[in-house]
A and B are shown apart, each in its own frame.
Chain A
Amino acid sequence: MANSMKINPRKFHRDQLKFHGALTFLSIFMALPILFIFNHAFKPFTELFAYPPRFFVQSPTLENFRLLINFSAESGMPLSRYVFNSLYVTILVILLTLFISSLAAFALSKLEFKGKDTFNKINTLALIFVPLAVAIPRFFIIVNLGIFNTYWAHIIPLLAMPIGIFLLKQFIDQIPNELLEAARIDGAGNMRVYWSIILPLVTPALVTVAILTFQASWGNVESSAIFMDKESIRTLPFYMETLVSQSGNIVAGAGLSAVAGLIMFVPNLILFIILQNKVMNSMAHTGIK
Protein backbone atom coordinates (compact mmCIF):
# COMPACT_ATOMS: atom_id res chain seq x y z
CA MET A 1 0.00 0.00 0.00
CA ALA A 2 2.71 2.45 0.97
CA ASN A 3 4.27 1.79 -2.41
CA SER A 4 1.30 3.21 -4.20
CA MET A 5 1.78 6.68 -2.83
CA LYS A 6 5.18 7.14 -4.41
CA ILE A 7 4.00 9.12 -7.40
CA ASN A 8 4.38 12.85 -6.81
CA PRO A 9 5.45 12.64 -3.15
CA ARG A 10 5.09 15.67 -0.89
CA LYS A 11 8.53 15.50 0.67
CA PHE A 12 11.81 13.70 0.70
CA HIS A 13 11.94 10.08 1.80
CA ARG A 14 14.86 7.69 2.13
CA ASP A 15 13.37 5.45 -0.59
CA GLN A 16 13.82 8.25 -3.12
CA LEU A 17 17.59 8.24 -2.72
CA LYS A 18 18.17 5.95 -5.69
CA PHE A 19 16.12 8.23 -7.96
CA HIS A 20 17.97 11.30 -6.72
CA GLY A 21 21.24 9.52 -7.37
CA ALA A 22 20.32 8.56 -10.93
CA LEU A 23 18.72 11.92 -11.72
CA THR A 24 21.64 13.92 -10.34
CA PHE A 25 24.06 11.85 -12.38
CA LEU A 26 22.02 12.27 -15.56
CA SER A 27 21.43 15.97 -14.94
CA ILE A 28 25.16 16.56 -14.61
CA PHE A 29 25.69 14.66 -17.83
CA MET A 30 23.03 16.71 -19.63
CA ALA A 31 24.26 19.99 -18.18
CA LEU A 32 27.98 19.51 -18.82
CA PRO A 33 27.98 20.69 -22.45
CA ILE A 34 25.87 23.69 -21.44
CA LEU A 35 28.19 24.53 -18.57
CA PHE A 36 31.03 24.12 -20.99
CA ILE A 37 29.72 26.74 -23.37
CA PHE A 38 29.09 29.20 -20.55
CA ASN A 39 32.69 28.78 -19.48
CA HIS A 40 34.09 28.80 -22.98
CA ALA A 41 32.36 32.05 -23.91
CA PHE A 42 34.08 33.92 -21.08
CA LYS A 43 37.55 32.48 -21.59
CA PRO A 44 40.32 34.83 -22.69
CA PHE A 45 42.27 33.91 -25.77
CA THR A 46 45.10 32.24 -23.87
CA GLU A 47 42.76 29.89 -22.06
CA LEU A 48 40.85 28.86 -25.19
CA PHE A 49 43.91 27.21 -26.64
CA ALA A 50 45.66 26.31 -23.44
CA TYR A 51 47.24 22.92 -23.04
CA PRO A 52 46.19 21.04 -21.01
CA PRO A 53 42.62 22.23 -21.78
CA ARG A 54 40.68 23.45 -18.78
CA PHE A 55 36.92 23.01 -18.47
CA PHE A 56 36.30 25.95 -16.16
CA VAL A 57 37.27 29.50 -16.94
CA GLN A 58 40.09 30.89 -14.77
CA SER A 59 39.92 34.63 -15.39
CA PRO A 60 36.59 35.44 -17.07
CA THR A 61 36.53 38.24 -19.63
CA LEU A 62 34.04 39.84 -22.03
CA GLU A 63 36.68 39.88 -24.75
CA ASN A 64 34.80 37.37 -26.94
CA PHE A 65 31.61 39.43 -26.85
CA ARG A 66 33.53 42.52 -27.95
CA LEU A 67 35.18 40.50 -30.69
CA LEU A 68 31.83 39.31 -31.98
CA ILE A 69 30.47 42.86 -32.23
CA ASN A 70 33.63 44.12 -33.97
CA PHE A 71 33.76 41.14 -36.27
CA SER A 72 30.24 41.66 -37.58
CA ALA A 73 30.78 45.41 -37.97
CA GLU A 74 33.81 44.70 -40.15
CA SER A 75 31.89 42.31 -42.36
CA GLY A 76 29.48 45.11 -43.29
CA MET A 77 26.36 44.43 -41.26
CA PRO A 78 26.27 45.37 -37.58
CA LEU A 79 25.24 42.63 -35.20
CA SER A 80 22.39 44.81 -33.95
CA ARG A 81 20.75 44.55 -37.40
CA TYR A 82 20.56 40.76 -37.15
CA VAL A 83 19.31 41.01 -33.58
CA PHE A 84 16.62 43.48 -34.63
CA ASN A 85 15.55 41.27 -37.57
CA SER A 86 15.33 38.24 -35.33
CA LEU A 87 13.35 40.00 -32.64
CA TYR A 88 10.99 41.65 -35.13
CA VAL A 89 10.31 38.38 -36.96
CA THR A 90 9.99 36.34 -33.78
CA ILE A 91 7.54 38.72 -32.12
CA LEU A 92 5.35 38.87 -35.22
CA VAL A 93 5.45 35.09 -35.66
CA ILE A 94 4.42 34.52 -32.05
CA LEU A 95 1.53 37.02 -32.13
CA LEU A 96 0.19 35.80 -35.46
CA THR A 97 0.59 32.13 -34.58
CA LEU A 98 -1.25 32.57 -31.29
CA PHE A 99 -4.10 34.42 -32.96
CA ILE A 100 -4.49 32.14 -35.99
CA SER A 101 -4.00 28.93 -34.01
CA SER A 102 -6.38 29.79 -31.20
CA LEU A 103 -9.11 30.83 -33.65
CA ALA A 104 -8.78 27.56 -35.54
CA ALA A 105 -8.42 25.43 -32.42
CA PHE A 106 -11.61 26.93 -30.98
CA ALA A 107 -13.54 26.06 -34.15
CA LEU A 108 -12.00 22.59 -34.34
CA SER A 109 -12.91 21.89 -30.73
CA LYS A 110 -16.21 23.59 -30.00
CA LEU A 111 -17.96 24.59 -33.23
CA GLU A 112 -19.80 22.31 -35.61
CA PHE A 113 -19.06 22.38 -39.32
CA LYS A 114 -18.61 20.10 -42.27
CA GLY A 115 -15.24 18.43 -42.54
CA LYS A 116 -14.24 19.14 -38.94
CA ASP A 117 -13.26 15.56 -38.09
CA THR A 118 -11.32 15.17 -41.31
CA PHE A 119 -9.45 18.39 -40.65
CA ASN A 120 -8.57 17.26 -37.14
CA LYS A 121 -7.30 13.95 -38.45
CA ILE A 122 -5.19 15.59 -41.15
CA ASN A 123 -3.77 18.02 -38.63
CA THR A 124 -2.81 15.22 -36.24
CA LEU A 125 -1.15 13.41 -39.13
CA ALA A 126 0.67 16.62 -40.02
CA LEU A 127 2.39 16.51 -36.62
CA ILE A 128 4.97 14.30 -38.33
CA PHE A 129 5.39 16.78 -41.15
CA VAL A 130 9.08 17.37 -41.89
CA PRO A 131 9.35 20.97 -43.16
CA LEU A 132 12.99 20.56 -44.16
CA ALA A 133 12.07 17.74 -46.50
CA VAL A 134 9.85 19.97 -48.62
CA ALA A 135 12.15 22.97 -48.67
CA ILE A 136 12.22 22.85 -52.48
CA PRO A 137 8.47 23.10 -53.17
CA ARG A 138 8.21 25.64 -50.36
CA PHE A 139 10.82 27.71 -52.13
CA PHE A 140 8.67 27.82 -55.28
CA ILE A 141 5.58 28.70 -53.26
CA ILE A 142 7.41 31.54 -51.50
CA VAL A 143 8.61 32.87 -54.87
CA ASN A 144 5.11 32.65 -56.36
CA LEU A 145 3.55 34.40 -53.38
CA GLY A 146 5.86 37.30 -54.20
CA ILE A 147 7.39 37.34 -50.73
CA PHE A 148 10.89 36.21 -51.68
CA ASN A 149 13.38 38.62 -50.10
CA THR A 150 10.86 40.09 -47.66
CA TYR A 151 10.32 39.69 -43.94
CA TRP A 152 7.21 37.69 -44.76
CA ALA A 153 9.40 34.90 -46.09
CA HIS A 154 10.60 34.44 -42.50
CA ILE A 155 7.16 34.71 -40.99
CA ILE A 156 4.64 32.93 -43.19
CA PRO A 157 6.33 29.50 -43.37
CA LEU A 158 6.30 29.30 -39.57
CA LEU A 159 2.63 30.18 -39.15
CA ALA A 160 1.30 26.76 -40.15
CA MET A 161 2.12 24.94 -36.95
CA PRO A 162 0.16 21.71 -36.54
CA ILE A 163 1.47 21.08 -33.04
CA GLY A 164 0.18 24.48 -31.93
CA ILE A 165 -3.34 23.73 -33.15
CA PHE A 166 -3.11 20.28 -31.65
CA LEU A 167 -2.07 21.49 -28.19
CA LEU A 168 -4.66 24.26 -28.11
CA LYS A 169 -7.46 22.02 -29.34
CA GLN A 170 -6.72 19.36 -26.73
CA PHE A 171 -6.76 22.06 -24.09
CA ILE A 172 -10.00 23.66 -25.28
CA ASP A 173 -11.62 20.20 -25.32
CA GLN A 174 -11.36 20.26 -21.50
CA ILE A 175 -13.55 23.36 -21.20
CA PRO A 176 -17.07 22.23 -20.33
CA ASN A 177 -19.70 22.94 -23.00
CA GLU A 178 -22.15 24.17 -20.34
CA LEU A 179 -19.96 27.21 -19.85
CA LEU A 180 -20.27 28.12 -23.53
CA GLU A 181 -24.01 27.36 -23.55
CA ALA A 182 -24.54 29.72 -20.66
CA ALA A 183 -22.80 32.49 -22.53
CA ARG A 184 -24.77 31.76 -25.70
CA ILE A 185 -28.06 32.02 -23.82
CA ASP A 186 -26.92 35.45 -22.69
CA GLY A 187 -26.61 36.34 -26.36
CA ALA A 188 -22.91 35.90 -26.94
CA GLY A 189 -21.86 35.01 -30.48
CA ASN A 190 -18.91 32.83 -31.42
CA MET A 191 -16.50 35.77 -31.47
CA ARG A 192 -17.60 36.83 -28.04
CA VAL A 193 -17.30 33.28 -26.66
CA TYR A 194 -13.83 32.98 -28.21
CA TRP A 195 -12.63 36.29 -26.85
CA SER A 196 -14.19 36.34 -23.37
CA ILE A 197 -14.32 32.67 -22.40
CA ILE A 198 -11.94 30.56 -24.43
CA LEU A 199 -8.89 32.84 -24.57
CA PRO A 200 -8.68 33.58 -20.82
CA LEU A 201 -9.12 29.89 -19.98
CA VAL A 202 -6.44 28.56 -22.31
CA THR A 203 -3.56 30.82 -21.24
CA PRO A 204 -1.32 27.89 -20.18
CA ALA A 205 -1.68 26.33 -23.62
CA LEU A 206 -1.13 29.71 -25.29
CA VAL A 207 2.05 30.15 -23.27
CA THR A 208 3.25 26.71 -24.33
CA VAL A 209 2.53 27.39 -27.98
CA ALA A 210 4.29 30.75 -27.63
CA ILE A 211 7.39 29.00 -26.28
CA LEU A 212 7.39 26.41 -29.05
CA THR A 213 6.92 29.16 -31.63
CA PHE A 214 9.71 31.14 -30.09
CA GLN A 215 12.06 28.18 -30.33
CA ALA A 216 11.08 27.54 -33.93
CA SER A 217 11.50 31.17 -34.96
CA TRP A 218 14.52 32.18 -32.90
CA GLY A 219 16.58 29.29 -34.22
CA ASN A 220 15.21 29.28 -37.76
CA VAL A 221 18.00 29.23 -40.32
CA GLU A 222 16.05 27.83 -43.27
CA SER A 223 14.26 31.01 -44.34
CA SER A 224 17.40 33.16 -44.29
CA ALA A 225 19.30 30.56 -46.26
CA ILE A 226 16.71 29.65 -48.88
CA PHE A 227 13.95 32.24 -49.09
CA MET A 228 16.12 35.34 -49.47
CA ASP A 229 19.46 36.58 -50.71
CA LYS A 230 19.37 40.06 -49.19
CA GLU A 231 21.75 40.25 -46.25
CA SER A 232 19.94 43.13 -44.55
CA ILE A 233 16.84 41.07 -43.71
CA ARG A 234 18.57 37.87 -42.64
CA THR A 235 18.34 36.84 -39.02
CA LEU A 236 20.69 36.18 -36.14
CA PRO A 237 20.82 32.34 -36.23
CA PHE A 238 21.80 32.43 -39.90
CA TYR A 239 24.58 34.88 -39.17
CA MET A 240 25.71 32.77 -36.24
CA GLU A 241 25.80 29.70 -38.40
CA THR A 242 27.89 31.32 -41.12
CA LEU A 243 30.13 32.68 -38.41
CA VAL A 244 30.61 29.24 -36.91
CA SER A 245 31.28 27.64 -40.26
CA GLN A 246 33.88 30.31 -41.02
CA SER A 247 35.30 30.23 -37.55
CA GLY A 248 37.69 27.44 -38.43
CA ASN A 249 39.57 29.97 -40.53
CA ILE A 250 39.89 32.75 -38.00
CA VAL A 251 42.07 32.54 -34.94
CA ALA A 252 39.55 33.74 -32.41
CA GLY A 253 36.87 31.43 -33.87
CA ALA A 254 36.36 29.21 -30.84
CA GLY A 255 35.55 32.11 -28.54
CA LEU A 256 33.31 33.82 -31.10
CA SER A 257 31.37 30.62 -31.71
CA ALA A 258 30.87 30.02 -28.01
CA VAL A 259 29.41 33.50 -27.59
CA ALA A 260 27.21 32.93 -30.64
CA GLY A 261 25.93 29.65 -29.21
CA LEU A 262 25.27 31.27 -25.86
CA ILE A 263 23.25 34.11 -27.42
CA MET A 264 21.09 31.62 -29.31
CA PHE A 265 20.53 29.39 -26.30
CA VAL A 266 20.08 31.64 -23.27
CA PRO A 267 16.74 33.25 -24.30
CA ASN A 268 15.26 29.78 -24.79
CA LEU A 269 16.45 28.65 -21.39
CA ILE A 270 15.22 31.75 -19.56
CA LEU A 271 11.79 31.62 -21.18
CA PHE A 272 11.38 27.98 -20.28
CA ILE A 273 12.48 28.52 -16.68
CA ILE A 274 10.04 31.39 -16.20
CA LEU A 275 7.11 29.67 -17.86
CA GLN A 276 7.71 25.98 -17.11
CA ASN A 277 4.80 25.84 -14.68
CA LYS A 278 2.29 26.81 -17.36
CA VAL A 279 3.97 24.52 -19.88
CA MET A 280 3.66 21.49 -17.62
CA ASN A 281 0.05 22.40 -16.92
CA SER A 282 -0.87 22.31 -20.61
CA MET A 283 1.31 19.30 -21.42
CA ALA A 284 -1.04 17.08 -19.47
CA HIS A 285 -3.55 17.36 -22.30
CA THR A 286 -1.21 16.53 -25.16
CA GLY A 287 -2.23 12.90 -25.51
CA ILE A 288 -3.27 11.49 -28.89
CA LYS A 289 -6.17 9.08 -28.63
Chain B
Amino acid sequence: MEKSSSINQPSVNRPPLNSPTKSKSRQMKNLFYKVKNSPYLFILPYATLFTLLIIMPVLVAVFLSFTYFNTVQFPEFVGFQNYIDLFTGDTVFLQHAVSSTLLYAVIVGPIGYMMAFFLAWMLSQVPHNVRTIYTVIIYSPSVTGPVMMAIVWRVLFSGDQVGYLNFWLLEWNVIKEPVQFLQSPEFLVPVMIFVGLWGSMGVGFLAMLAGLMNIDKSLYEAAYIDGIRNRWQEIFFITIPSMKPQMLFGAVMAIIGTFNASGIAATLSGGTPPPQYAGWLIVDHANDFGFIRYEMGYASAVTVVLLLIVLLFNKISYRLFGESK
Protein backbone atom coordinates (compact mmCIF):
# COMPACT_ATOMS: atom_id res chain seq x y z
CA MET B 1 0.00 0.00 0.00
CA GLU B 2 2.63 2.43 1.06
CA LYS B 3 4.60 1.83 -2.07
CA SER B 4 1.78 2.50 -4.46
CA SER B 5 0.76 5.64 -2.61
CA SER B 6 4.28 7.00 -2.71
CA ILE B 7 4.10 7.18 -6.46
CA ASN B 8 1.31 9.73 -6.26
CA GLN B 9 3.11 11.90 -3.77
CA PRO B 10 5.05 14.86 -5.02
CA SER B 11 8.72 13.98 -4.94
CA VAL B 12 9.68 16.20 -2.03
CA ASN B 13 11.68 13.61 -0.20
CA ARG B 14 13.62 12.44 -3.20
CA PRO B 15 16.81 14.21 -4.13
CA PRO B 16 16.63 15.97 -7.47
CA LEU B 17 17.70 13.83 -10.39
CA ASN B 18 20.93 15.65 -11.02
CA SER B 19 22.13 15.51 -7.43
CA PRO B 20 25.80 14.51 -7.17
CA THR B 21 25.24 11.44 -4.93
CA LYS B 22 22.64 9.98 -7.23
CA SER B 23 24.66 10.39 -10.36
CA LYS B 24 27.75 9.01 -8.68
CA SER B 25 25.99 5.85 -7.58
CA ARG B 26 24.54 5.57 -11.04
CA GLN B 27 28.00 5.93 -12.48
CA MET B 28 29.25 3.19 -10.23
CA LYS B 29 26.33 1.08 -11.23
CA ASN B 30 27.01 1.76 -14.88
CA LEU B 31 30.64 0.92 -14.44
CA PHE B 32 29.76 -2.28 -12.63
CA TYR B 33 27.29 -3.16 -15.34
CA LYS B 34 29.85 -2.36 -18.00
CA VAL B 35 32.50 -4.58 -16.38
CA LYS B 36 30.01 -7.34 -15.75
CA ASN B 37 28.88 -7.14 -19.34
CA SER B 38 32.29 -6.79 -20.92
CA PRO B 39 33.28 -9.53 -23.37
CA TYR B 40 36.79 -9.38 -21.91
CA LEU B 41 35.50 -10.60 -18.56
CA PHE B 42 34.24 -13.76 -20.26
CA ILE B 43 37.43 -14.43 -22.12
CA LEU B 44 39.81 -13.41 -19.34
CA PRO B 45 40.10 -16.67 -17.36
CA TYR B 46 40.73 -18.76 -20.44
CA ALA B 47 43.01 -16.21 -22.06
CA THR B 48 45.12 -16.11 -18.90
CA LEU B 49 45.44 -19.88 -18.71
CA PHE B 50 46.05 -20.13 -22.45
CA THR B 51 48.86 -17.60 -22.26
CA LEU B 52 50.35 -19.15 -19.16
CA LEU B 53 50.22 -22.80 -20.21
CA ILE B 54 50.40 -22.81 -23.98
CA ILE B 55 51.92 -19.61 -25.33
CA MET B 56 54.49 -19.06 -22.58
CA PRO B 57 55.82 -22.62 -22.58
CA VAL B 58 56.37 -22.41 -26.32
CA LEU B 59 58.13 -19.05 -25.98
CA VAL B 60 60.22 -20.29 -23.05
CA ALA B 61 61.15 -23.41 -25.04
CA VAL B 62 62.26 -21.24 -27.96
CA PHE B 63 64.26 -19.01 -25.61
CA LEU B 64 65.89 -21.93 -23.76
CA SER B 65 66.78 -23.64 -27.02
CA PHE B 66 69.37 -20.90 -27.61
CA THR B 67 70.96 -21.38 -24.21
CA TYR B 68 72.97 -23.81 -22.16
CA PHE B 69 70.87 -24.49 -19.07
CA ASN B 70 71.50 -27.16 -16.45
CA THR B 71 68.74 -25.91 -14.06
CA VAL B 72 71.33 -24.86 -11.46
CA GLN B 73 73.11 -21.97 -13.13
CA PHE B 74 71.36 -19.16 -14.97
CA PRO B 75 70.79 -20.01 -18.68
CA GLU B 76 73.84 -19.05 -20.73
CA PHE B 77 73.31 -17.85 -24.30
CA VAL B 78 74.97 -20.14 -26.84
CA GLY B 79 73.33 -19.06 -30.10
CA PHE B 80 72.52 -21.87 -32.51
CA GLN B 81 74.94 -24.29 -30.83
CA ASN B 82 72.19 -26.66 -29.61
CA TYR B 83 70.68 -26.86 -33.08
CA ILE B 84 74.10 -27.39 -34.67
CA ASP B 85 74.84 -30.19 -32.22
CA LEU B 86 71.41 -31.66 -32.78
CA PHE B 87 71.75 -31.84 -36.55
CA THR B 88 75.44 -32.67 -36.84
CA GLY B 89 76.47 -34.60 -33.77
CA ASP B 90 73.49 -36.35 -32.20
CA THR B 91 73.33 -39.73 -33.89
CA VAL B 92 70.56 -41.01 -31.65
CA PHE B 93 68.41 -38.04 -32.63
CA LEU B 94 69.12 -38.28 -36.36
CA GLN B 95 69.15 -42.04 -36.78
CA HIS B 96 66.48 -43.02 -34.31
CA ALA B 97 64.30 -40.23 -32.97
CA VAL B 98 63.59 -38.39 -36.24
CA SER B 99 63.23 -41.47 -38.39
CA SER B 100 61.08 -43.36 -35.88
CA THR B 101 58.84 -40.37 -35.31
CA LEU B 102 58.35 -39.75 -39.02
CA LEU B 103 57.85 -43.45 -39.75
CA TYR B 104 55.34 -43.77 -36.94
CA ALA B 105 53.55 -40.54 -37.89
CA VAL B 106 53.48 -41.21 -41.62
CA ILE B 107 52.06 -44.71 -41.15
CA VAL B 108 49.79 -44.34 -38.12
CA GLY B 109 48.60 -40.86 -39.14
CA PRO B 110 47.32 -41.41 -42.69
CA ILE B 111 46.44 -45.10 -42.37
CA GLY B 112 44.67 -44.59 -39.07
CA TYR B 113 42.91 -41.63 -40.62
CA MET B 114 41.74 -43.56 -43.67
CA MET B 115 40.67 -46.46 -41.48
CA ALA B 116 38.70 -44.03 -39.35
CA PHE B 117 36.96 -42.67 -42.42
CA PHE B 118 36.08 -46.06 -43.88
CA LEU B 119 34.91 -47.41 -40.55
CA ALA B 120 32.75 -44.32 -40.09
CA TRP B 121 31.44 -44.68 -43.64
CA MET B 122 30.53 -48.33 -43.12
CA LEU B 123 28.89 -47.42 -39.81
CA SER B 124 26.74 -44.86 -41.59
CA GLN B 125 25.36 -47.65 -43.79
CA VAL B 126 23.83 -49.67 -40.97
CA PRO B 127 20.80 -48.94 -38.75
CA HIS B 128 21.10 -46.77 -35.68
CA ASN B 129 20.98 -49.30 -32.82
CA VAL B 130 23.57 -51.70 -34.11
CA ARG B 131 25.70 -48.75 -35.22
CA THR B 132 25.83 -47.52 -31.61
CA ILE B 133 27.17 -50.87 -30.43
CA TYR B 134 29.84 -51.00 -33.14
CA THR B 135 30.80 -47.38 -32.44
CA VAL B 136 31.34 -47.96 -28.73
CA ILE B 137 33.52 -51.01 -29.42
CA ILE B 138 35.60 -49.35 -32.12
CA TYR B 139 36.07 -46.16 -30.10
CA SER B 140 36.94 -47.84 -26.81
CA PRO B 141 40.59 -48.75 -27.61
CA SER B 142 41.41 -45.06 -27.99
CA VAL B 143 40.59 -44.39 -24.32
CA THR B 144 42.52 -47.30 -22.87
CA GLY B 145 45.63 -45.26 -22.11
CA PRO B 146 49.26 -46.27 -21.84
CA VAL B 147 49.01 -48.38 -18.67
CA MET B 148 46.48 -50.73 -20.09
CA MET B 149 48.26 -50.78 -23.42
CA ALA B 150 51.48 -51.90 -21.79
CA ILE B 151 49.84 -54.75 -19.92
CA VAL B 152 47.76 -56.16 -22.72
CA TRP B 153 50.33 -56.00 -25.47
CA ARG B 154 53.20 -57.06 -23.28
CA VAL B 155 51.41 -60.29 -22.49
CA LEU B 156 50.10 -60.88 -26.00
CA PHE B 157 53.48 -60.28 -27.64
CA SER B 158 55.60 -61.72 -24.86
CA GLY B 159 58.85 -63.24 -26.05
CA ASP B 160 58.51 -66.66 -24.43
CA GLN B 161 56.11 -69.41 -25.39
CA VAL B 162 53.58 -68.24 -22.80
CA GLY B 163 53.11 -65.12 -24.93
CA TYR B 164 49.84 -65.61 -26.77
CA LEU B 165 51.04 -64.71 -30.25
CA ASN B 166 54.11 -66.88 -29.94
CA PHE B 167 52.03 -69.74 -28.61
CA TRP B 168 49.57 -69.57 -31.50
CA LEU B 169 52.28 -69.19 -34.11
CA LEU B 170 54.13 -72.17 -32.66
CA GLU B 171 50.92 -74.15 -32.53
CA TRP B 172 50.18 -73.46 -36.18
CA ASN B 173 53.77 -74.20 -37.13
CA VAL B 174 54.36 -70.76 -38.56
CA ILE B 175 57.53 -70.39 -36.49
CA LYS B 176 59.93 -72.92 -34.99
CA GLU B 177 60.89 -71.04 -31.82
CA PRO B 178 59.48 -68.05 -29.95
CA VAL B 179 60.12 -64.64 -31.52
CA GLN B 180 61.38 -61.81 -29.30
CA PHE B 181 58.71 -59.39 -30.54
CA LEU B 182 59.36 -56.76 -27.89
CA GLN B 183 63.11 -57.08 -27.47
CA SER B 184 64.31 -57.07 -31.07
CA PRO B 185 64.37 -53.72 -32.87
CA GLU B 186 63.04 -55.09 -36.17
CA PHE B 187 59.82 -56.29 -34.50
CA LEU B 188 59.39 -53.63 -31.86
CA VAL B 189 58.66 -50.84 -34.35
CA PRO B 190 55.98 -52.77 -36.30
CA VAL B 191 54.36 -53.83 -33.02
CA MET B 192 54.38 -50.20 -31.92
CA ILE B 193 52.74 -49.09 -35.17
CA PHE B 194 50.18 -51.84 -34.84
CA VAL B 195 49.32 -50.76 -31.31
CA GLY B 196 49.14 -47.13 -32.47
CA LEU B 197 46.69 -48.01 -35.23
CA TRP B 198 44.57 -50.06 -32.87
CA GLY B 199 44.09 -47.05 -30.60
CA SER B 200 43.68 -44.38 -33.24
CA MET B 201 39.86 -44.40 -33.66
CA GLY B 202 39.35 -41.46 -31.31
CA VAL B 203 37.59 -38.11 -31.39
CA GLY B 204 38.42 -37.62 -35.08
CA PHE B 205 36.64 -40.85 -35.91
CA LEU B 206 33.56 -39.75 -33.96
CA ALA B 207 33.59 -36.38 -35.71
CA MET B 208 33.76 -38.00 -39.13
CA LEU B 209 30.91 -40.35 -38.25
CA ALA B 210 28.78 -37.42 -37.10
CA GLY B 211 29.72 -35.50 -40.24
CA LEU B 212 28.65 -38.42 -42.42
CA MET B 213 25.31 -38.70 -40.69
CA ASN B 214 24.59 -35.04 -41.25
CA ILE B 215 25.05 -34.95 -45.01
CA ASP B 216 21.90 -33.84 -46.74
CA LYS B 217 20.31 -36.89 -48.37
CA SER B 218 18.99 -34.89 -51.28
CA LEU B 219 22.60 -34.30 -52.37
CA TYR B 220 22.92 -38.01 -53.05
CA GLU B 221 19.63 -38.13 -54.93
CA ALA B 222 20.67 -35.22 -57.10
CA ALA B 223 24.04 -36.80 -57.75
CA TYR B 224 22.51 -40.06 -58.94
CA ILE B 225 20.23 -38.13 -61.28
CA ASP B 226 23.32 -36.31 -62.55
CA GLY B 227 24.90 -39.60 -63.45
CA ILE B 228 27.02 -40.83 -60.58
CA ARG B 229 27.24 -44.53 -61.13
CA ASN B 230 28.81 -46.28 -58.19
CA ARG B 231 29.52 -45.93 -54.53
CA TRP B 232 33.17 -44.98 -55.01
CA GLN B 233 32.14 -42.03 -57.12
CA GLU B 234 29.56 -41.22 -54.49
CA ILE B 235 32.28 -41.16 -51.80
CA PHE B 236 34.68 -39.02 -53.78
CA PHE B 237 32.27 -36.58 -55.39
CA ILE B 238 29.61 -36.19 -52.72
CA THR B 239 30.53 -37.61 -49.35
CA ILE B 240 34.05 -36.27 -48.83
CA PRO B 241 33.41 -32.80 -50.26
CA SER B 242 30.28 -32.48 -48.09
CA MET B 243 32.13 -33.22 -44.89
CA LYS B 244 35.40 -31.41 -45.50
CA PRO B 245 35.30 -29.56 -42.17
CA GLN B 246 35.04 -32.84 -40.27
CA MET B 247 37.72 -34.37 -42.48
CA LEU B 248 40.04 -31.52 -41.53
CA PHE B 249 39.17 -31.85 -37.85
CA GLY B 250 39.88 -35.57 -38.09
CA ALA B 251 43.23 -34.87 -39.75
CA VAL B 252 44.22 -32.40 -37.05
CA MET B 253 43.25 -34.95 -34.37
CA ALA B 254 45.26 -37.63 -36.18
CA ILE B 255 48.29 -35.34 -36.15
CA ILE B 256 48.23 -34.70 -32.41
CA GLY B 257 47.38 -38.31 -31.77
CA THR B 258 50.54 -39.45 -33.47
CA PHE B 259 52.93 -36.73 -32.31
CA ASN B 260 51.68 -36.86 -28.74
CA ALA B 261 52.69 -40.50 -28.60
CA SER B 262 55.72 -41.04 -26.44
CA GLY B 263 57.28 -43.79 -24.43
CA ILE B 264 55.42 -46.52 -26.33
CA ALA B 265 58.55 -48.47 -27.19
CA ALA B 266 59.86 -48.11 -23.66
CA THR B 267 56.56 -49.30 -22.16
CA LEU B 268 56.34 -52.24 -24.54
CA SER B 269 59.93 -53.37 -24.11
CA GLY B 270 59.92 -52.64 -20.40
CA GLY B 271 62.88 -50.27 -20.22
CA THR B 272 64.20 -46.84 -21.17
CA PRO B 273 65.82 -46.60 -23.63
CA PRO B 274 64.29 -49.48 -25.59
CA PRO B 275 66.71 -51.99 -27.15
CA GLN B 276 68.99 -50.19 -29.62
CA TYR B 277 66.74 -47.10 -29.42
CA ALA B 278 64.11 -48.85 -31.54
CA GLY B 279 60.91 -46.81 -31.66
CA TRP B 280 62.61 -43.92 -29.82
CA LEU B 281 60.47 -40.84 -30.53
CA ILE B 282 61.37 -37.15 -30.52
CA VAL B 283 59.33 -36.51 -27.36
CA ASP B 284 61.24 -39.35 -25.66
CA HIS B 285 64.48 -37.72 -26.73
CA ALA B 286 63.44 -34.35 -25.32
CA ASN B 287 62.32 -35.85 -22.01
CA ASP B 288 65.51 -37.89 -21.80
CA PHE B 289 67.70 -34.81 -22.09
CA GLY B 290 65.42 -32.63 -19.99
CA PHE B 291 64.53 -34.80 -17.04
CA ILE B 292 67.28 -37.41 -16.98
CA ARG B 293 70.37 -35.43 -18.03
CA TYR B 294 69.12 -31.95 -17.04
CA GLU B 295 70.33 -30.37 -20.26
CA MET B 296 67.27 -28.16 -20.54
CA GLY B 297 68.61 -25.97 -23.34
CA TYR B 298 69.36 -28.88 -25.58
CA ALA B 299 66.07 -30.60 -24.71
CA SER B 300 64.24 -27.40 -25.62
CA ALA B 301 65.91 -27.35 -29.02
CA VAL B 302 64.55 -30.87 -29.57
CA THR B 303 61.11 -29.63 -28.53
CA VAL B 304 61.22 -26.71 -30.94
CA VAL B 305 62.13 -29.02 -33.81
CA LEU B 306 59.18 -31.24 -32.93
CA LEU B 307 56.78 -28.30 -32.76
CA LEU B 308 57.96 -27.16 -36.19
CA ILE B 309 57.38 -30.62 -37.65
CA VAL B 310 53.86 -30.71 -36.18
CA LEU B 311 53.18 -27.25 -37.58
CA LEU B 312 54.30 -28.40 -41.02
CA PHE B 313 51.97 -31.41 -40.99
CA ASN B 314 49.15 -29.18 -39.81
CA LYS B 315 49.77 -26.88 -42.76
CA ILE B 316 49.64 -29.83 -45.16
CA SER B 317 46.25 -30.94 -43.78
CA TYR B 318 44.86 -27.44 -44.21
CA ARG B 319 46.08 -27.46 -47.81
CA LEU B 320 44.28 -30.73 -48.41
CA PHE B 321 40.98 -30.08 -46.66
CA GLY B 322 40.79 -26.41 -45.78
CA GLU B 323 38.40 -24.11 -47.61
CA SER B 324 40.93 -21.46 -48.52
CA LYS B 325 39.89 -21.23 -52.15
Contact = CB atoms under 8 A, between A and B. Distances in A.
B185 interface: no
Interface string B132-165: 1011111111011111101111011000011110
Interface in B107-140: 119, 122-128, 130, 132, 134-140
Contacts of B255: 128
B42 A241 contact: no
A280 B57 contact: no
Contacts of B130: 20
Given A136-B61, A157-B53, A20 B126 contact: yes
B221 A36 contact: no
B98 interface: no
B267 to A, nearest CB: 8
Interface stretch (B4-12, B17-25, B84-92, B306-314): B306-314
A133 B53 contact: no
Report whether over half of chain A's contact residues are helix, strand or loop; otherwise say mixed.
Answer: helix
B256 A127 contact: yes
A103 B53 contact: no
Interface residues of A, number: 104
A65 interface: no
Query: Closest 7 interchain pairs by CB?
Result: A287-B245, A104-B46, A261-B148, A137-B60, A283-B210, A107-B42, A134-B57
Interface of B: 33, 36-40, 42-43, 45-47, 49-50, 52-54, 56-61, 64, 119, 122-128, 130, 132, 134-141, 143-148, 150-153, 155-156, 161-164, 167, 171, 198, 201, 203, 206-207, 209-215, 217, 220-221, 223-224, 231, 234, 243-246, 248-249, 252-253, 255-256, 259-260, 262, 270, 282-283, 286-287, 290-291, 296, 299-300, 303, 306-307, 310-311, 313-314, 322-323
Given A162-B50, A265-B148, 17 more contacts: A7-B220, A8-B213, A9-B125, A10-B127, A37-B151, A52-B167, A123-B50, A126-B54, A127-B253, A137-B64, A138-B53, A219-B147, A245-B270, A269-B136, A280-B135, A286-B207, A287-B211
